[in-house]
Amino acid sequence: MAERKTGQDEKRRRRSPKGEERRAEILAAAMRRFAEDGYQNAAIGDIARDVGLSLPGLLHHFPTKVDLLLAILAKRDLDSADYIGHYRSDVRGLLKGMVEIFRRNAELIEVVRAFAILNAESLMKDHPAKAWFLARTAEMQKDIAATFERAIADGSIDKRIDSKVIAAELIAVMDGLQMLWLRDPERFDMVGGLEAYVDRLLASLAPEG
């Protein structure tokens, strides 16, 4: 495993700036196609044409559609992790970070739509992203719960709070608000919806006097 990771790191270092730029263009085009057609129906040949490449030219960067899918998921998760990492010091900071991610996502509807479609499609048997989404959700719940457990331990929130339940609730609220927004972005304010929920949640977490 270590040897494989080292090889991947070396391969990344060998990529030219032009190659990295081309990979970014391919990922953006694939994201658009996945948002429009879903992963299962998107044709890798169409993605190649969208960026002015032949099919062999695209396969030089991403040998299979699965490789392309996993690269998109990894980039999306890395972007979110880097963004929210600045806020994760305590419960209030974590919740603020979630609101800020929603605020940023409101400017990235294509990306959010594609990710939501992939998430739903991954429920299908043998979908290539099934394990990735399952692991991501479990890790997210674990990380959120850990932040709440630290707050319980230091007395800043009610000790009766069930950290795992709250973590699951937060994930469900965020996913639900996002779906409402994707269905009608002109009428539904997902950022405002999450801000209102966070305010109510923080008020309910205060330890008993």
pTM for the structure as a whole:
0.77
Q: Which of 43, 118, 106 minimizes the C-alpha distance to 73?
A: 118
pLDDT band at 85 (very low <50, low <70, confident <90, very high): low
% of the chain beyond a pLDDT of 90: 53
In tens, the pLDDT along 171-207 reads 999 999 999 999 999 999 999 999 999 999 999 998 8
Q: What is the pLDDT of residue 35?
A: 84
CATH superfamily, domain at 2-205: Tetracycline Repressor, domain 2 (1.10.357.10)
Q: What are the boundaries of each domain within the chain?
A: 2-205
Confidence of residue 84 (pLDDT cuts 50, 70, 90): low
Contact at 8 Å (CB) between 29 and 52?
no
pLDDT tens digit string along 134-177?
998 998 899 899 999 999 999 999 999 999 999 999 999 999 99
Please write the tens of the pLDDT for every residue from 111-133: 888 889 889 999 998 899 899 89
HEC sequence for the chain: CHHHHHHHHHHHHHCCHHHHHHHHHHHHHHHHHHHHHHHHHCCHHHHHHHCCCCHHHHHHHCCCHHHHHHHHHHHHHHHHHHHHHHHCCCHHHHHHHHHHHHHHHCCCHHHHHHHHHHHHHCCCCCCCCHHHHHHHHHHHHHHHHHHHHHHHHCCCCCCCCCHHHHHHHHHHHHHHHHHHHHHCCCCCCHHHHHHHHHHHHHHHHCCCC
